[in-house]
Amino acid sequence: MNKPKMATEKGVPSNSRVLMLLGQLERMNGEAMVRDVEMARQVTTKILHLIQTQEKSGKEVMSKSSSGMEVILASLENTRDVQTTLNILYILSELLTVGRGRRVGVFVSKGGTGILFQILITASKDLPPSEELMLQLHSLLAKVGPKDRKFGVKARLSGALNVTISLMKQNLQNTKLLLPCLQVLRVYSTNSVNAISLGKNGVVELMFKIIGPYCKKNTSLLKVALDALGALLKSKTNARRAVDGGHVPVLLSLYLDWHRNDTRHRHMLIRKGLLVCLRNITNIKLGRKAFIEADGMRILYNSSTECLPVRTLDPLVNTSSLIMRKCFPKNRLPLPTIKSAFHYQLPHVPAVGPVAQLYSQPPGVDDVVDESDDNEETEADSDTENEEDEKDHHSANDDIETDLNKLHPKKSPGRPFEELRVYERFFLELSEDFQGFNFECSKNASTTSSSASVSSSSASTRSTRPIVVPTAQALSPKSIPIPNSQEDCKSIKGQHTQPPPSAPTPTPPVPLTPLELDTIHLTKDQDKKEEANIPTPDGHTTFTRPPSQGQRIEQELAHALECASLEEDRALNAEEGLKGVKQEGSPVNAMRHIQSPLLLGGIATRRVGGGGSNWGSDCGSEGAEDEAGEGAVLEVPDTALLLPLHDPDLYVEMVKGTHSVPQYAEVAYPDYFGHVAPTFREPLLERVYGVQRSKIFQDIERLIHPNDILDKVVYDLDIPSCPVIEDNGESLKFNSQFESGNLRKAVQVRKYEYDLVLNSDINSNHYHQWFYFEVSGMRVGTTYRFNLINCEKSNSQFNYGMQVLMYSVQEAISGRPRWVRTGTDICYYKNHFARSSIAAGGQKGKSYYTMTFSKNFSHKDDVCYFAYHYPYTYSTLKMHLSKLEALRTPQIYLRQDILCETLGGNSCPLLTITAMPESNSNDHICQFRNRPLIFLSARVHPGETNASWVMKGTLEFLMGTSPLAASLREAYIFKIVPMLNPDGVVNGNHRCSLSGEDLNRQWQNPSPELHPTIYHTKSLLQYLAHIQRAPLVFCDYHGHSRKKNVFMYGCSVKETVWQSSISATSSYLQEDLGYRALPKILSQIAPAFSMASCSFVVERSKESTARVVVWREIGVQRSYTMESTLCGCDQGKYKGLQIGTRELEEMGAQFCMALLRLKRLTGLRNHQHLLDLESDIIGTQTKVASCPTTYVMEEDEPSFLEAIDYSAESNDEDAEPENEHAGEVHEHPDHLDQLSDSDTNHRD
């Protein structure tokens, strides 16, 4: 009888058998379930058997068309029989184990979690509860918990928490039941309210009974227990309980026990679990204190050091590193005040703002550190330690301007024309009639330039103070018989190879000692006597009329020994020449360059050049007598042959007319000598695996081995009389007392490691980023580590392949005068120096960041300079402008005016460049006057030196002789303010002027007293708007520290509306697409330019920048900020390379080329045709709308490189994958990331 039945069953597909059984179960639901217990057991047993043996059965139950899950859950809810309940739990367990994600989701959506909790509560009332039932319930709950977002709330409301806790307490020895309970507890604890509730019920103490020392048994149980404990300890109240219970030493000793015994590293997850518990406890101040008291630093440091060789143990090393850094006691910066070391009293202090706060600070306030560095609990629940961006996390679009009234440019000149009429004198070209001008003969005199008077007149009125040309003072210490007194306080730099002009101060004659680079000084008095350098018969230039050659030499040398000198420069030039000047006779250069002897290790160096031979041989013999007959002549390069716009002597002249707050009397060698861009490529530095971690470990060693730390101050600007602290030659010598220099303090930490502190901007207590300083006294073959310890931004391109710049005097003298990218083991990370809330805008608990790099020097007794980016000083600009003037041909109309004087007494040059009219006929004069204007500015932020190099490229192109340059001059009138912030540049500021304010945030309402350059530049534009001659293009050149490539920010109503949530009618969005034409052209012709990085969104935080104000108030549609990277490129021809001055100058020239193309576009008669053409180059609007890159707030790089190895949690399931290699980081340039608050405000 059974056989036919079996046959029929076999004939039916298996999935139908499950469906039949489910149908049967469904019919039984309700009363029948309770009545017919045996039947329910049989049906559920058969279903379980089918699902266990046939995969298809499970799929059928879970298929979208099936109501199988509902039936199963209804049966589970209705049955009162323990066996049937168990069967259904087994079925669910089987179903949810396979294809877990989607199936668990279905289970949760059908209300399965609630039913499980309900059964758990019911079952707990049976005494004793069924162990098997509890086991299965908790196993299932552990599976579904992570997928149910409301799991924690449901558990708490149903009362399940207490059931699980009491079950654990009763079954501490029953590992089979304890494991699923702990798994569920782990999920419960992720809800913070549950964690606190569980803590109150003694679960933290309970967990410490479960975890234990090394043991090969029950390791999975221990792993889960530690996960649960870690989750519980995220709550600060539970962390306090653990500290109060004395559990920190317990965790440390357990960790050490597992570390010692787990020699095969099979239980890394348990060790990691212990560390996570410690990490969470140390989020509170009490926890950090307990950790230190339990000798946690040494334990973790030693264990981590032992783990380093095993790459798979990196997660342990990273977490240990994070804990140690968090617990490292906060240090104060080694400064008396975070205010700048230089004081400049403002004529009047603004009523509100940071500068007002600075001035209103009562004397005696310690602004370096808060009363308690640690009073803010670090909220470090995230795995990375970068909490910089809290403000920006709300929404990427927070900063976008949404007020449509503000978005529509309104030409509002803002001042009556009577006031603006005075600016007419800066626009002579608009009224010039050239009637008295003879177009036949040379037009050289046609446009008188005031550049010479700008530089020299100011020089002649200056106080007479010695100018030192710093050079390689340390080039050969053995041969420097310089009195200590001088060396002590003057931080003599490689000094001038040219005899310092004879100074009026009488000095005793100098003995014929070897003349070191650092022994020659130029005094400023000379300028009183002669404004221009006059070549003297012996071929070297002097600044004062020489009494006689012999006398002059004596006086100059004697003077050198007394004052600190401008020498570096001289040497500099000397070197540069070497490169290009092997021909002895170039008369031009011989006149210009210094001929004084440079003794480098006893070798007399002379300046090569025609007329200099007498002087050179003189020196040689002098050197020979003193240096045991070594009289070899070293040729020194003549930079002028290599750099048409550079003249060292002229540079010194310009320095004399430059006013600095510290009254610098030295010239840095690189500025004096110039920079010849290297011909080789400089690729982005590849990041060595683990470099950041190893640096951090070295920092932690300071605490572990305090006796190894020297802590010796070797340079300190806060001791103005004598910043260079002399020693026995065991330390490097530092100096930054020259134009644009920035280094406040140098502390020797270990024999070859130095902590360097940057000076804040004058009248400010922050903005530490730009640096430029000199180092000498180095040994060859030794690796020195330099740490800039008070950086502020939360991330830097130094983490993504950027290197520092170095200039070697020895290299320059050998014919390679150039800045090169250098440094190894470069990284940028948060350090243990506390940043006071006064400097952090009121926020407490902030830290500074360290930028660290290592350098192995190639030359003994070299003098090297390090800089953040290629320096470009104000005196360099004045020299370049003076030299450009000399390039002017009769066809070029060039005028240089002084726009205004700055607060510091420096003049702000304004250039006008265009083509002369062909004749003085009405037609030609009319064409000349009616050329559209292009208005360019640069260097409003002193630390963005790349902007000046781009501007140099633009100016050289404009003054060039090529047909393209001529066409460009004929097409436009250029008004150029090449340096908007001369005072900031001169004094080594990073961002501000002497007023302590970011000048690019003052355009809305500039003060004529505090922001004269902005006030008068804006007035020029307002004047143009009044006379209906607003510029066709306005562009402000900047540098960007956190993105690669060159790109533009512009202003567009349409794109701003697209990126924000505001709704606007189409009439509001009618906009000429012309604003996109120039960047689009640049993206086609300039290899460094990236259209993808451009943005045309108007943000609220930028409403007082030049770009937005000129767009909104002057009505210039094509108003841009052009940002050039400080790092390098990740696209185009220069992909993978760091940017150099050659590429920056090329960018400036290409900007000119783009304007020429723009002229062709805008010259089209049919305006509609222009629009078509522009939209053609631009691509469709929809592309623009959908393109996320138009939003400004993103960076090229992943959020914070700290993820690399700043993150302790690289291997957690929910953490970012660890990425130690900068190369890998670069693969994801589209990663959206907001800047830190400091950066958001500092972009344009």
Q: Between residues 1198 and 368, which one has the greater pLDDT? A: 368
Q: Is the CB of residue 609 less than 8 Å from the CB of residue 595?
A: yes
How far apart are the C-alpha atoms of 993 and 26, rounded to whole Å?
81
Q: Please spell the DSSP secondary structure of 1064-1088, one letter per residue.
A: --TTTT---GGGGHHHHHHHHH-TT
How far apart are the C-alpha atoms of 554 and 557, rounded to whole Å?
5
Q: What is the pLDDT of residue 1102?
A: 92
How far apart are the C-alpha atoms of 198 and 165, rounded to whole Å?
8
Q: Between residues 532 and 428, which one has the greater pLDDT? A: 428
How far apart are the C-alpha atoms of 474 and 493, rounded to whole Å?
8
Q: Between residues 290 and 1062, which one has the greater pLDDT? A: 290
How far apart are the C-alpha atoms of 524 and 465, rounded to whole Å?
5
730 has a pLDDT exceeding 70:
yes
How far apart are the C-alpha atoms of 717 and 1057, rounded to whole Å?
50
Q: Is the CB of residue 632 less than 8 Å from the CB of residue 559?
A: no
SS3 125: coil
Q: Is the CB of residue 490 less than 8 Å from the CB of residue 468?
A: yes
Which one is catalytic: 388, 635, 956, 1123?
A: 1123
Confidence of residue 22 (pLDDT cuts 50, 70, 90): confident
Q: Is the CB of residue 532 less than 8 Å from the CB of residue 634?
A: no
SS3 900: strand
Strand order across the beta sheet in which 603-607 lies: 598-600, 603-607, 634-636
Angle between helices 55-62 and 68-78 (to 10 degrees): 90
Q: Is the CB of residue 230 less than 8 Å from the CB of residue 277?
A: yes
Q: Return the minimum-mean-pLDDT range out of 16-30, 369-383, 435-449, 1007-1021.
A: 369-383
Tokens 């007293």, residue?
1009
Phi-psi region of 1051 (alpha: psi -120 to 50; beta: other; left: phi over 0): beta
Q: What HEC string does 615-657 produce?
A: HHHHHHHHHHHHCCCCCCCEEECCHHHHCCCCCHHHHHHHHHC
Please, what is the average pLDDT of the chain?
78
How far apart are the C-alpha atoms of 726 and 473, rounded to whole Å?
14
Confidence of residue 1126 (pLDDT cuts 50, 70, 90): very high
Q: Which amino acid is at 438?
A: N
Number of Cβ within a 10 Å radius of residue 48: 21
How far apart are the C-alpha atoms of 965 and 888, rounded to whole Å?
12
Please write the tens of the pLDDT for every residue from 870-898.
999 999 999 999 999 988 999 999 999 99
φ/ψ of residue 1009, rounded to 5: -85, -45
| CA nearest to 199, candidates 154, 142, 247 | 247
Phi-psi region of 792 (alpha: psi -120 to 50; beta: other; left: phi over 0): alpha
SS3 1237: helix
SS3 810: helix
SS3 534: strand
The distance from CA 140 to its chain's CA centroid, rounded to whole angstroms, is 49
- CA distances from residue 1031 to 653, 969, 972, 1021, 1035 in whole angstroms, order as listed: 35, 15, 10, 8, 10
How far apart are the C-alpha atoms of 1 and 946, rounded to whole Å?
96
How far apart are the C-alpha atoms of 971 and 968, rounded to whole Å?
5
Q: Is the CB of residue 254 less than 8 Å from the CB of residue 274?
A: yes
Q: Between residues 938 and 100, which one has the greater pLDDT? A: 938
Q: Between residues 832 and 1231, which one has the greater pLDDT? A: 832
Q: Between residues 129 and 605, which one has the greater pLDDT? A: 129
- CA distances from residue 1038 to 353, 525, 568 in whole angstroms, order as listed: 24, 37, 29
Q: Return the C-alpha torsion angle 816, 1124, 1120, 955, nearest 10.
A: 10
Summarize the confidence of residues 540-569 as an average pLDDT.
37
How far apart are the C-alpha atoms of 329 and 336, rounded to whole Å?
20
How far apart are the C-alpha atoms of 627 and 598, rounded to whole Å?
13
Whether the pTM exceeds 0.75: the reply is yes
How far apart are the C-alpha atoms of 880 and 677, rounded to whole Å?
16
Of 22-31, 512-521, 804-813, highest mean pLDDT: 804-813
Summarize the confidence of residues 226-242 as an average pLDDT.
95
How far apart are the C-alpha atoms of 667 and 1240, rounded to whole Å?
35
Please write the tens of the pLDDT for every residue from 986-1037.
999 999 999 999 999 999 999 999 999 999 999 999 999 999 999 999 999 9
E-only strand ranges, 796-944:
804-808, 819-822, 824-835, 846-856, 863-867, 892-901, 907-915, 933-938
Phi-psi region of 1144 (alpha: psi -120 to 50; beta: other; left: phi over 0): alpha
The distance from CA 32 to its chain's CA centroid, rounded to whole angstroms, is 72
Summarize the confidence of residues 337-348 as an average pLDDT.
92
How far apart are the C-alpha atoms of 303 and 280, rounded to whole Å?
19
Using a pLDDT cut of 70, give the percent of the chain over it. Answer: 73
Q: Return the minimum-mean-pLDDT range out of 174-183, 203-212, 410-419.
A: 410-419
Q: What angle do CA 385, 387, 393 make, to 5 degrees?
A: 135
Q: What is the pLDDT of residue 1160?
A: 87
Please write the tens of the pLDDT for every residue from 629-684.
333 344 556 766 778 889 999 999 999 999 999 999 999 999 999 999 999 999 99
As a whole number of Å, the CA-based R_g of the chain is: 37
How far apart are the C-alpha atoms of 311 and 308, rounded to whole Å?
7
321 has a pLDDT exceeding 90:
yes
Q: Is the CB of residue 78 less than 8 Å from the CB of residue 30?
A: yes
Q: Between residues 1202 and 197, which one has the greater pLDDT? A: 197
Q: Between residues 453 and 907, which one has the greater pLDDT? A: 907
Neighbouring residues of 126: CB distance < 8 A, sequence distance ≥ 6: none
Q: What is the pLDDT of residue 397?
A: 64
Q: What is the pLDDT of residue 793?
A: 93
Q: What is the pLDDT of residue 844?
A: 85
Active site residue 1123: yes
Q: Strands 783-791 and 846-856: what pairing?
A: antiparallel
Enter the tokens of residue 979.
């340096």
